């Protein structure tokens, strides 16, 4: 008999660029805000899982938060760092080892496209020297093939960005809070065909912390516990098409997102039709389109109609990336997956303000994807 798990406190440091505040400090601020939200103090934390890609070892934040002697484990798992911290915290409580703990992620990246460490990624120097070590190229190539196979238009890619910036404008924590029209998106610089500048998210800064408790003790901390029904991380299988691959097999495999999604739905005992809203990885606008189908929310190609008809808008049939996603928030790697969960907790509590999804949503889904071919999914319910 496993223990159910609830999220009882959430905290976030504003995403974007905060001069003079280190990535670690942003993580600490997120932790303090999460503690305040749950009405607990740092001393109450029995354990922590935390990570960042570029802003230091998370466990050193205890010198700022208080040396309480808690079990603190650093997590480093590429783009799924936040998701992996949450997975670990979830299972620590489920297994009955501890009753109350925290998952924290933060980051602060240099400006411009991510500089790929080819050695750290297991690639030869020739690969970067030849101009192939750019994650942006993968996204351009994946959506270009997808558009060819399933008839997705450039207009649909632009509409995804337009929606992201419109939603971001309603989110006080977002980086980009100015609406940008479909036309402006299409006319911005072509970075990696068919993707333009405003179709890509940027590396950024931010921090998020989530406090988890045994579900049967959640009432001690909140009158609106949000239950974590599934947390899953999957890596790639043979034949999938992933970022930074000098070659790929002739055989086709659907990739880690499909595997993670199926496993999460099975764990939660629910299906895609049971979800009221979703935050899906939108490193660029094409990713959101493809991830709608890879996560089971539509058939391949149906996105063209759905997005043109506004079905993924906040007031639509199935809202996607209600907080503006990576496009409007930027992508501090360590915090990005936890930001999605933070937004879903707000939505399920009914605390999302101007961007609140109507009709009291009861279930919500998150999906993160990144290098080197890794996906993390969570399912939340009230």
Partner 1 sequence: MAQVPVTEGVFTWPSESPQLIGSRCVTCGNHMFPVQQGCPKCTGAETEEVLLGRRGTLWTWTVQGFPPKAPPYAGDVDPKTFKAFGVGYVELPGQLKIESRLTEADPEKLKIGMEMEMVIVPLSTDANGNEVVTFAFAPVA
Q: What span, in angstroms and rounded, lies between the C-alpha atoms of 109 and 288?
A: 23
**Residue 236, Cβ neighbours under 10 Å: how many?**
19
User: Are 363 and 264 a contacting pair, CB within 8 Å?
Assistant: no
Q: What span, in angstroms and rounded, lies between the C-alpha atoms of 15 and 239?
A: 35
Q: Which is nearer to partner 1, 246 or 315 (CB)?
A: 246
DSSP string of 120-162? TTT--HHHHHTT---HHHHHHHHHHHHHHHH---HHHHHHHHH
Q: What span, in angstroms and rounded, lies between the C-alpha atoms of 165 and 195?
A: 16
Q: What span, in angstroms and rounded, lies between the C-alpha atoms of 218 and 313?
A: 32
Q: Which is nearer to partner 1, 222 or 375 (CB)?
A: 375
**What is the closest distance, in whole angstroms, from the C-beta atom of residue 115 to partner 1 in the complex?**
5
Q: Which is nearer to partner 1, 139 or 318 (CB)?
A: 139
**What is the closest distance, in whole angstroms, from the C-beta atom of residue 363 to partner 1 in the complex?**
35
Q: Which is nearer to partner 1, 58 or 201 (CB)?
A: 201
**What is the closest distance, in whole angstroms, from the C-beta atom of residue 190 to partner 1 in the complex?**
5
Q: Which is nearer to partner 1, 171 or 196 (CB)?
A: 196
User: Are 348 and 95 a contacting pair, CB within 8 Å?
Assistant: no
**What is the closest distance, in whole angstroms, from the C-beta atom of residue 242 to partner 1 in the complex?**
11
**What is the closest distance, in whole angstroms, from the C-beta atom of residue 182 to partner 1 in the complex?**
20
Q: How far is CA 57 from CA 52, 75, 76, in A?
A: 7, 9, 9
Q: What span, in angstroms and rounded, lies between the C-alpha atoms of 365 and 17?
A: 27
**What is the closest distance, in whole angstroms, from the C-beta atom of residue 77 to partner 1 in the complex?**
20
Pick left, alpha or beta for residue 79 (phi over 0 → left; psi -120 to 50 → alpha; otherwise beta).
alpha
**What is the closest distance, in whole angstroms, from the C-beta atom of residue 247 to partner 1 in the complex?**
4
Pick left, alpha or beta for residue 343 (phi over 0 → left; psi -120 to 50 → alpha; otherwise beta).
alpha
Tell me phi and psi for residue 179, to 5 degrees.
-60, 145
Tell me phi and psi for residue 205, to 5 degrees.
-135, 160
Structure tokens at 57: 């070892």
Q: Which is nearer to partner 1, 370 or 373 (CB)?
A: 373
Q: Which is nearer to partner 1, 190 or 309 (CB)?
A: 190
Q: Is the peptide bond before 287 cis (omega within 30 degrees of 0)?
A: no
Q: Which is nearer to partner 1, 230 or 289 (CB)?
A: 289
Q: Which is nearer to partner 1, 37 or 294 (CB)?
A: 294
**What is the closest distance, in whole angstroms, from the C-beta atom of residue 139 to partner 1 in the complex?**
8
Site for partner 1, rule CB under 8 A:
112-113, 115-116, 118, 124-134, 137, 140-142, 144-145, 148, 189-195, 238, 245-250
User: Are 361 and 276 a contacting pair, CB within 8 Å?
Assistant: yes
Q: Which is nearer to partner 1, 107 or 284 (CB)?
A: 284
User: Are 237 and 262 a contacting pair, CB within 8 Å?
Assistant: no
- The rounded radius of gyration (Å) of the Cα atoms in the chain is 19
At 334 the three-state DSSP class reads helix
């Amino acid at each position: 008999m496993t223990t159910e798990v609830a999220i009882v406190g959430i905290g976030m440091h504003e995403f974007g660029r905060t001069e003079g505040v280190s990535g670690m400090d942003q993580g600490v601020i997120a932790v303090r805000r999460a503690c305040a939200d749950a009405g607990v103090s740092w001393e109450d934390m029995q354990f922590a899982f935390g990570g960042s890609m570029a802003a230091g070892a998370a466990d050193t934040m205890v010198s700022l938060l208080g040396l309480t002697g808690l079990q603190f484990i650093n997590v480093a798992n590429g783009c799924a760092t936040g998701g992996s911290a949450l997975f670990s915290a979830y299972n620590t409580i489920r297994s009955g080892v501890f009753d109350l703990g925290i998952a924290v992620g933060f980051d602060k990246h240099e400006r411009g496209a991510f500089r790929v460490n080819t050695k750290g990624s297991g690639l030869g120097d020739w690969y970067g020297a030849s101009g192939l070590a750019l994650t942006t190229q993968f996204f351009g190539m994946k959506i270009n093939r997808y558009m060819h196979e399933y008839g997705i238009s450039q207009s649909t890619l632009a509409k995804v960005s337009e929606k992201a910036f419109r939603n971001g404008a309603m989110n006080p924590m977002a980086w980009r809070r100015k609406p940008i029209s479909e036309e402006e998106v299409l006319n911005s610089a072509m970075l990696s065909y068919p993707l333009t500048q405003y179709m890509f998210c940027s590396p950024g800064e931010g921090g998020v912390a989530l406090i988890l408790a045994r579900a049967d003790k959640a009432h001690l901390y909140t009158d609106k516990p949000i239950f974590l029904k599934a947390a899953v991380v999957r890596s790639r299988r043979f034949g999938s098409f992933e970022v930074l691959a000098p070659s790929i097999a002739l055989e086709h495999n659907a990739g880690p997102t499909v595997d993670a999604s199926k496993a999460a739905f099975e764990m939660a005992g629910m299906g895609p039709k049971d979800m009221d809203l979703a935050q899906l990885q939108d490193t660029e606008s094409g990713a959101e389109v493809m991830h709608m189908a890879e996560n089971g929310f539509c058939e391949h190609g149906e996105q063209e109609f759905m997005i043109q008809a506004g079905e993924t808008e906040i007031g639509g049939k199935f809202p996607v990336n209600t907080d503006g996603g990576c496009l409007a928030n930027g992508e501090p790697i360590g915090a990005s997956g936890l930001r999605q969960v933070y937004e879903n907790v707000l939505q399920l509590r009914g605390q999302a303000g101007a961007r609140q999804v109507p009709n009291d949503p009861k279930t919500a889904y998150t999906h993160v994807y990144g290098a080197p071919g890794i996906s993390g999914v969570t399912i939340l319910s009230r």
